[in-house]
Structure 1
Amino acid sequence: MLRRLYDWTMSLAARRSAEVWLAVIAFVESSVFLVPADVLFLPMALAKPERSYRYAIVATAASVLGGIAGWALGFYAYETVARPVLEFYGKLDAFEQMKSYVTYETILLLLVTSGLAHLPPIKIVTILSGVIHVNIWLFVISAIVARGARFLFLAWLLRRYGEPIRHFIEKRLGHIVSIGAVVAIVLYILYRYLAH
């Protein structure tokens, strides 16, 4: 099923309505959809490099709005809507475990790492932010910074290096950013440990 979703998402890049689909995918990725918007963003930005920053802004705006929808699901409709969605994707156990130890401070760190590196998946963090009642404006600012940084950095890489960088992005950039996110989490944990 995941492969079919990926292939379908890739096919949208060739359509005239690709920019609309980019907004739709970026929106639903932040709350319920499994395939990241990067899958559509990369071929679109490569096909029209002069529009890559525009696509990055569209993806960022839609992703933040989708994040707000995920936050609202967690805040207002966890039991009736969000919980079944997490069960469907097999993420409920991870979510419940995370919910038991997350604090207001760590959720902000998770918003940044999930926005930059999908670590953990953004939909889990947006819903969790609503469940633990993170201030909506703080949530929005964090989402804009993290998602904007990701899409604008990808746009810059694609404009500067073109097609050759695509393979690097698809194969290695996720690992590099994930390692950076893990380092940030470890440094935060060490800081908290040493502060006490």
Structure 2
Amino acid sequence: MLRKLYDRVIAYSAKPSAPWALALVSFAESSVFPIPPDVLQVPMTLAQPQKAWRYALIATIASVLGGVVGYAIGALLYDSVGKFLIDLYGYGQKVGAFQTAYDHYGHWVILLKGITPIPYKLVTITSGFAHYNIWWFLGLSLITRGARFFLLAGMLHYFGPMARDFIERRLGLMTFGLLGVVVLGFLAAIYLM
């Protein structure tokens, strides 16, 4: 089953709509969606390594734009949509601690959490809720999300053929590993914030 799904994503990478799908997932992940864009960026880059930097740029821009939506949810709709999303992902009791961290370390919170597997929507919604300076938020989001997606693109571009061979031979292990990273990100957000 994993092999068929992987093969479909690799085949889909050649379609003109693939960058749009990457943009949509990147946008949604920054505000409401739980799946990271890596699940598309990795196979798309492996299928077309010459487009690694383009895919990283698409993911970065879409993620930052989605972050603006997350920020707006936190700033304008926290009592309804924002609180619902935070509670949905199990972080309701952590918002106060997160806001306190913003008061002291706002820049570092955005920079560090934006590059980790901790769900970025927590950063965007809480940034809005904390009324963090929108211009700093945008600049720091561009830096941290760009670093994440361009670093991934660089590794895949450099190790492309070896990485593709490794992933294809160990697809189950790699899928389990990616799932583990997502789960660890959620757990870290719950217990380390």
Same fold, TM-score > 0.5, yes or no: yes
Structure 1-normalised TM-score? 0.75
Query: How far does residue 14 in structure 1 lie from its aligned partner after superposition?
Result: 3.7
Distance 1:12 1:86 in 2: 30
Partner of 1:20: 20
Distance 1:34 1:13 in 2: 22
Which amino acid in structure 2 is aligned with residue 46 of structure 1? L
Partner of 1:95: 95
Q: 1:11 to 1:27 in 2, by over 3 A?
A: farther
Alpha-carbon contact 2:9-2:43 (below 8 Å) kept: no
Which amino acid in structure 2 is aligned with residue 81 of structure 1? V
Gaps of 5+ in 1: 1-6, 183-196
2:131 is paired with a residue of what secondary structure?
coil
Alpha-carbon contact 1:10-1:39 (below 8 Å) kept: no
Q: 1:66 to 1:13 in 2, by over 3 A?
A: farther
Distance 2:123 2:7 in 1: 25
1:103 is paired with a residue of what secondary structure?
helix
Partner of 1:52: 52
Does 1:108 pair with 2:85? no
Alpha-carbon contact 1:75-1:130 (below 8 Å) kept: yes
Which amino acid in structure 2 is aligned with residue 128 of structure 1? T
Does 1:127 pair with 2:132? no
Q: 1:136 to 1:39 in 2, by over 3 A?
A: same
Pairwise CA RMSD of aligned residues? 2.9
Partner of 2:160: 162
Could you list the runs of 4 or more consecutive aligned residues of structure 1 that deviate by over 4 angstroms after TM superposition? 7-13
Does 1:69 pair with 2:69? yes
Distance 2:54 2:139 in 1: 20
Distance 1:79 1:10 in 2: 42
Query: How far does residue 137 in structure 1 lie from its aligned partner after superposition?
Result: 0.7
Deviations 1:160-187 (A, max 9, x none): 111433669x659x98xx9xxx9xxxxx
Q: 1:115 to 1:8 in 2, by over 3 A?
A: farther
Of all paired residues, the percent bearing the same amino acid is 37
Distance 1:9 1:43 in 2: 8
Structure 2-normalised TM-score? 0.76
Alpha-carbon contact 1:30-1:70 (below 8 Å) kept: yes
Gaps of 5+ in 2: 168-173, 189-193
Deviations 1:79-106 (A, max 9, x none): 011111122222222334423x323342
Query: How far does residue 109 in structure 1 lie from its aligned partner after superposition?
Result: 1.0
Q: 1:82 to 1:11 in 2, by over 3 A?
A: farther
Aligned length: 168
Partner of 1:194: none
Distance 1:115 1:11 in 2: 29
Alpha-carbon contact 1:12-1:18 (below 8 Å) kept: no
Q: Which has the higher contact order (CA 8 A, sep 6+)?
A: 2
Does 1:83 pair with 2:70? no
